[in-house]
Structure 1
Amino acid sequence: MGRTDRRGPPVSGAGFQTRRIGLLVTGNLLGGIGVAGGFAVGGLLVERLGGTSFAGLGQGASVLGSAVAAVPLAALAARYGRRRSLAVGYALAMAGAVLIITAAVVTQVVVLLAGLALFGVAQAVNLQTRYAAADGAPAATRARLMSLVIWATTIGSVAGPNLSEPGERTGRLLGLPALTGPYLFAVLSFALAAVAALFLPRAGRAPVPAAGTATGTATGTAASTAPAGAGDPTGADGASPGASPDGSPGTSPGASPGESPGASPGGARAALGWALRHPAARLGVVLIAVAHAVMVMVMVMTPLHMQHHGMSLRLVGVVISLHVLGMYALSPLFGWLADRFGPVRVALAGLAMLAVSVVLGFSAAALQAGSVLTATALTVLGLGWSASMLSASVLLANAAPDRLRIPLQGATDAGMSYAGAVAAALAGPILAAGGFQAVNIAAAVIMLPAVAAAASALRAPGEGGHGEGGLGVTGPRDAEPAAERG
């Protein structure tokens, strides 16, 4: 067993995974509370300081902050491990919340937008936690573990906005400007989430001889060829071969922090280039961006469509709540299905649900009183996003070699945020030009690259590790030759 230090003792076997997932769920829940509470009032605060013309910039700044942070946070995780990456991300978001409060006090909208951009880093961190759940996990349970972390977002998304009023009262008691109270709770939530990240357990393992010795060479070769999550001959406890001291992949004892012997973490561009040449990974990258763009385009225009048809704000709230419930509540079910039947099958189901949702949305647009159909369309849209997001994330966790996996995950999350931002920007003009039917037609067109990527993954023999065109659970990372791993 490795030596104990201030970061906590090494944890082994089932205890390692139980404690790790528990802390990741806790951190994601706390981070979700902070994000949802802040986003609920962010636009209002921007409008109050800068006027109506600035109102949309608040959400844009947060999305941009999330997108820009995704790749650097992934690089930090690849080099130093998930613990440091997650903690730094939450610390930046906490600084953003403090900056937002400061901007409200000094009434500076530019400072406010900068704070909202930093605040958006929390969303990138919350996204990264799902990949952290898969680090060191056996291939047969990765999807379920990832789904548990995603599911925690449900609680945060519901609890966060409901804390706006208590936060506002707290802010008034402290003499702070209106609408800043929720950011006080965000500071506390992000601080606690950072602490949870710092307590992520280390994987205990015996020292590995330095590279270049006979024993060290043999051990390094064995580690590079062993399946992720398999027993480690050096005494690893369920961490993947080459895991970092905190259980994150990409670090081996005897190597520089976060680096495998004889290999260094690849950059985001190299990772994306690799993914485009491998059908399963390509499907993961494309599906995450497409599913998010489709979801954002339809979701952000639904309240406007409903109000244009005379539906009440209360009904709008119910429909959006059902949509958010669909996005997260059934994540554990989709995780089980991905482990049982393979991530590509769940990806196909996700695409099918997205297609059904846009057909229902198109039909609802033609009805003057189509509230039930609209609610159904948005719920199915959330379910399709959930299945697509989870299955694509599992594909990325399974498919890429260790040195490219974390950079690929970061680049994919950045692409997802950029795709959502572009979709949101285009949705307004499309609604103005052709109504809600045109929005759903545009969403259907956006789906075409994902359909093509899915067809390519189905045709690729053995891409899923079972010779079934990518339908299996495991992927090339679990059986990749040492030569390709570097």
Structure 2
Amino acid sequence: MGRHPRIDARSTGVLVASNVLGGVGVASGIAVGGLLAERLGGTSVAGLGQAAGVLGAAVAAVPLAALAARRGRRWSLAGGYAVAVLGAVVVVTSAVLSQLVLLFVGLGLFGVAQAVNLQARYAAADGIAPAGRARVMSVVLWATTIGSVAGPNLTAVGARVGEGVGVPALAGPYLFSVVAFAGASVAVALLFRPLPVASDPAGDLPAGTTPLTASPVGDPPTVAPSPVPPGTPPPRVGALTALRRAAADPVMRLGVGLLAISHAVMVMVMVMTPLHMQHGGMSLELVGVVISLHVLGMYALSPVLGWLADRWGPLRLAAGGLGVLAVAVTLGFVAAASPGSGTVTATALVVLGLGWSAGVIASSAILATAPGDIRLPLQGVTDAGMSYAGAAAAALAGPVLAAGGFRGVNVAAALLLLPALVLLAGAMRTDRRGLAGDGRADRPGALETA
């Protein structure tokens, strides 16, 4: 498969629109999911609602990637949104019947939408020249900002709509989720025409070669002649096989590890920030403002970071992202010493979101260069690892806060960065794809918009 230097503007627009709708659907439900769980099961189970959604996203990531490999991105994305529609319907039904277990099942299915929103960024990059992949992915990621901001603001309206049709008020926003997910599914199924992704097993290496062959320990992977005739579809590869093959390449190891670590650092600090602020006497209104600023930091500048990844190379962006995360946890440590300072806390959370965004975009750009036969399953299993890492970080953050306060949380987050630095050093030392700095947007093959 040749690399397309031009963007299919319509297909990219469809992905942006579907991510906006998907973001609205996710944010509308997440805003009240914990409250609904508390109403049906008490305060002790309120956090399990969020956990069910995260688990649903993690479990769905690999099957969605496998479906994309078999049937194409269009059916994977559309089918995932359809499952999320079912999840939202089950949530509403659980509220009507006051069934807690049914609620958790619905929230797990509902969480599939988050996995779809994440995998849409990879769909945007399929078939695009390396010089422009990060920018395309970052634009689709940026679309999530709209949904993340608009969704929670529909909570009150959704409650009134729900009561008007005989549904409990807290379940009303999920009616908007049903409509949003259904619209995203139909738009992708009818309008999205993805470029093929699995016909080039050599990824971005020269034609007629197969990357990631076994090498002695300590040596970079070698490139061996391929016995497969040109044009022959590559055999399907499972997620674990893709992960094992990627582990042989230091650059791919960074792509996999960076996504999980960036997400874990962000989640660990973010989920404990409201508690830190409340303990410092700050108002709920200020907590809401700080979290909103954090979300803007996560997504608003992603097109700029995508441009930087294409111009400077994703490895340099990865290094910058880790540096920004280090600054964020340092600011968080300072904020812990001044519990009443909302300004320092807000600055730390904005910087934290920016570092997360740089890590996600750099990792996504690296994974988009994986060989064609492992690209889809590797992307799926890496997204699953991202969700599992976030869930684990959230679970550990509470005990860390209890033992060491908000300072301890930021120290723990800083320690999580150390493995990423080791992975980055190995990738920079053995980079053979030019990802450390020749990804210039102005070189031949840079993007044009169709």
**TM-score, length of structure 2 as denominator length:** 0.88
Amino acid across the alignment from 2:22: G
CA displacement at 1:227 relative to structure 2: 5.2
Name 1:306's counterpart in structure 2: 277
Could you tell me which of 131, 148, 154 is aligned with 1:140? Answer: 131
CA displacement at 1:22 relative to structure 2: 0.2
How big is each residue's C-alpha offset from its partner over 1:328-373, in whole Å with a ceiling of 9 and x where there is no partner?
A: 0000000000011100111111000000000110011011422111
Name 1:39's counterpart in structure 2: 30
Name 2:112's counterpart in structure 1: 121
The whole-number CA distance in structure 2 between the counterparts of 1:397 and 1:204 is 14
The whole-number CA distance in structure 2 between the counterparts of 1:227 and 1:80 is 23
CA displacement at 1:201 relative to structure 2: 4.2
> Is it true that 1:338 corresponds to 2:329 in the alignment?
no
The whole-number CA distance in structure 2 between the counterparts of 1:409 and 1:224 is 15
Name 1:101's counterpart in structure 2: 92
The whole-number CA distance in structure 1 between the counterparts of 2:155 and 2:394 is 25
Could you tell me which of 267, 291, 296 is aligned with 2:262? Answer: 291
Amino acid across the alignment from 1:367: S
Could you tell me which of 421, 424, 439 is aligned with 2:394? Answer: 424
The whole-number CA distance in structure 1 between the counterparts of 2:59 and 2:201 is 32
The question of whether the paired residues in 2 share the 8 Å contact of 1:344 and 1:472 is answered with: no
Q: Secondary structure at the match of 2:236?
A: coil
> Is it true that 1:382 corresponds to 2:348 in the alignment?
no
Tell me how many residue pairs correspond in the alignment. Answer: 412
Name 2:175's counterpart in structure 1: 184
Matches within 5 A, 1:55-70: 55-70=46-61
Could you tell me which of 427, 434, 449 is aligned with 1:457? Answer: 427
The whole-number CA distance in structure 2 between the counterparts of 1:225 and 1:149 is 26
Amino acid across the alignment from 2:439: V
1:262–1:88: structure 2 CA closer, same or farther, 3 Å change rule?
Answer: closer
The whole-number CA distance in structure 1 between the counterparts of 2:10 and 2:96 is 41
Q: Secondary structure at the match of 1:447?
A: helix
How big is each residue's C-alpha offset from its partner over 1:262-286, in whole Å with a ceiling of 9 and x where there is no partner?
A: 5222111011111111111111100
Amino acid across the alignment from 1:408: L
> Is it true that 1:92 corresponds to 2:83 in the alignment?
yes
1:203–1:101: structure 2 CA closer, same or farther, 3 Å change rule?
Answer: closer
The question of whether the paired residues in 1 share the 8 Å contact of 2:37 and 2:100 is answered with: yes
Q: Name the Cα RMSD after superposition.
A: 2.0
Query: Higher relative contact order at CA 8 Å, sep ≥6: structure 1 or structure 2?
Result: 2
The question of whether the paired residues in 1 share the 8 Å contact of 2:58 and 2:385 is answered with: yes
* Long gaps (5+) in structure 1: 1-11, 206-219, 231-259, 475-486
CA displacement at 1:204 relative to structure 2: 8.9
* Long gaps (5+) in structure 2: 208-230, 441-450
The whole-number CA distance in structure 2 between the counterparts of 1:425 and 1:27 is 31
The sequence identity of aligned pairs, in percent, is 63
The question of whether the paired residues in 1 share the 8 Å contact of 2:134 and 2:365 is answered with: yes
Amino acid across the alignment from 2:306: G
Amino acid across the alignment from 1:32: G
CA displacement at 1:202 relative to structure 2: 3.6
The whole-number CA distance in structure 1 between the counterparts of 2:202 and 2:36 is 53
The question of whether the paired residues in 1 share the 8 Å contact of 2:160 and 2:169 is answered with: no
CA displacement at 1:461 relative to structure 2: 4.2
Name 1:50's counterpart in structure 2: 41
Q: Which runs of 4+ in 1 moved over 6 A?
A: none
Name 2:326's counterpart in structure 1: 355
Name 1:403's counterpart in structure 2: 373
The whole-number CA distance in structure 2 between the counterparts of 1:461 and 1:149 is 27
The whole-number CA distance in structure 2 between the counterparts of 1:226 and 1:425 is 37
Matches within 5 A, 1:218-237: none
The whole-number CA distance in structure 2 between the counterparts of 1:61 and 1:204 is 33
Amino acid across the alignment from 1:63: V
1:369–1:52: structure 2 CA closer, same or farther, 3 Å change rule?
Answer: closer
Could you tell me which of 288, 297, 304 is aligned with 1:317? Answer: 288
Name 1:448's counterpart in structure 2: 418
Name 2:164's counterpart in structure 1: 173
Name 1:242's counterpart in structure 2: none
The whole-number CA distance in structure 1 between the counterparts of 2:260 and 2:239 is 16
